[in-house]
Chain A
Amino acid sequence: MEAFEWMAWTGPSATFFAVIFAILVGMTVWDLRSPSVPRRGFLPLETTRGDRLFIGLLGSAYVNLLWIGVTTLSPWYSLAMAVVLLALVMRYG
């Protein structure tokens, strides 16, 4: 692990990237087994699963930034909201 020492890893950031990586691998396997068909949900554009993941993750990042920027409450709340947002976009977006 010394080879990665220069990257200044922390537990939370390692967990974050591990989750993102797991999602990407999972989505790739899912798409190989059952290719995504573009469809239209509540988002104003036709999206594939990958598009919805991107929109959900980007939206989650902005939810967290907004929360950190305007409140002093724990970021765990914004993380919970971001997970809900991601799930909603993936399912109904």
Chain B
Amino acid sequence: MDKTHDNKAWFLVIPVFVIVAFSAIIPLMTVVNYSLQDIFGPNERYFVGTEWFREVLNDSRLHGALYRQLLFSGLVLLIEVPLGVAIALAMPPRGWTASLCLVLLAIPLLIPWNVIGTIWIIFTRPDIGLLGRTINGLGIPFDHTAAPLDAWVTVMLMEVWHWTPLVALLAYAGLRAIPEAYYQAARIDGASAWAVFKYIQLPKMRGVLTIAILLRFMDSFLIYAEPFVLTGGGPGNSTTFLSIYLVKQAVGQFDLGPAAAFSIIYFLIVLLFSWVFYQVLQRVGTGDK
């Protein structure tokens, strides 16, 4: 049988592999080693087998954090992807207004993540915050430090404000890459705006939307700094997502063994979801099943 690929090209990947080995694979191996031991100090540790995995898998607080995390990431994708695509479609195709839109969209992406949390703490404070005081002024009680629903609304608003521009910028790049000939053909056929979106724009944006969905899923699933600064995981545990719970366990309580087991389970969940999304998105619009 003839070769289907020139496999020698894979050797060019070696530099990347070396960098990834030092930045990801070796640390991950260390985490696996930690997950099998009870660590008391640098030279004092005891092999415990799968004990930490058993403990972590039966931890009801972890289950709670996982459900909250899944809900959060699901909402993030449901809101940010359609909204980002809608913004990209509404943006002017060229000219100075397009440049202005791009700059405005990029602003939230340039702000450090912990600063984002601080901005939203002040913005939503019921006593001095513009949003918090306005909502309370309308007669709707709103306090993200006391009411779980308000905390969720605030975290979601912050997340959508912070990251929808990324989806919009990617979708915009995808839209701009569509040759004019497709639109001309659609006009000749008398296609409606919806048909143009469904049969030209959406399929042509598949690549960038795949990246957008994967990035937003992984980032939102690993979110830490913004909700930690904004709510600290509260009120109660209502916004304690997986990363916040993990850091509490690893840094706060210095339970390195259970935290390592938790990290591996966390990694496997992200890996599974990312792979499933990737596979599904690769097949959308191609006729494959």
Contact = CB atoms under 8 A, between A and B. Distances in A.
Interface of A: 6-10, 12-13, 16-17, 31-32, 34-35, 37, 44-46, 54, 58, 61-62, 65, 68-69, 72, 75
Nearest to A69: B57
Interface in B133-171: none
Interface of B: 1, 3-5, 7, 26, 29-30, 32-34, 36-37, 39, 42, 45, 47, 49-50, 53-54, 57-58, 265, 268, 271-272, 275, 279, 283, 288-289
Of A6, A9, A65, most buried by chain B (CB within 10 Å of CB) is A65
25 contacts: A6-B30, A6-B42, A7-B29, A8-B34, A8-B37, A9-B33, A12-B36, A12-B47, A12-B49, A13-B29, A13-B33, A35-B7, A37-B4, A45-B279, A45-B283, A58-B271, A65-B53, A68-B53, A68-B54, A68-B57, A69-B53, A69-B54, A69-B57, A69-B58, A72-B54
B57 A10 contact: no
B37 A7 contact: no
A12 B40 CA distance: 20
Nearest to B54: A68
Contact of A17 (B1, B29, B54, B265): B29
Given A31-B7, A35-B5, A65-B53, A10 B33 contact: yes
A51 to B, nearest CB: 9
B272 A62 contact: yes
A9 B1 CA distance: 44
Contacts of B39: 8
Contacts of A69: 53-54, 57-58
A89 B57 CA distance: 26
A78 B47 CA distance: 20
B57 A13 contact: no
A91 to B, nearest CB: 19
B279 to A, nearest CB: 6
Given A7-B26, A65-B268, 7 more contacts: A7-B33, A8-B45, A17-B32, A58-B271, A62-B272, A65-B57, A68-B53
B243 to A, nearest CB: 19
A40 B270 CA distance: 26
A27 B15 CA distance: 20
Contacts of B289: 44
A54 B29 CA distance: 18
Nearest to B2: A35
Nearest to A37: B4
Contacts of B54: 68-69, 72
Closest 5 CB pairs of A and B: A69-B57, A8-B33, A7-B30, A68-B53, A13-B33
A9 B29 CA distance: 9
Contacts of B279: 45
B188 to A, nearest CB: 36
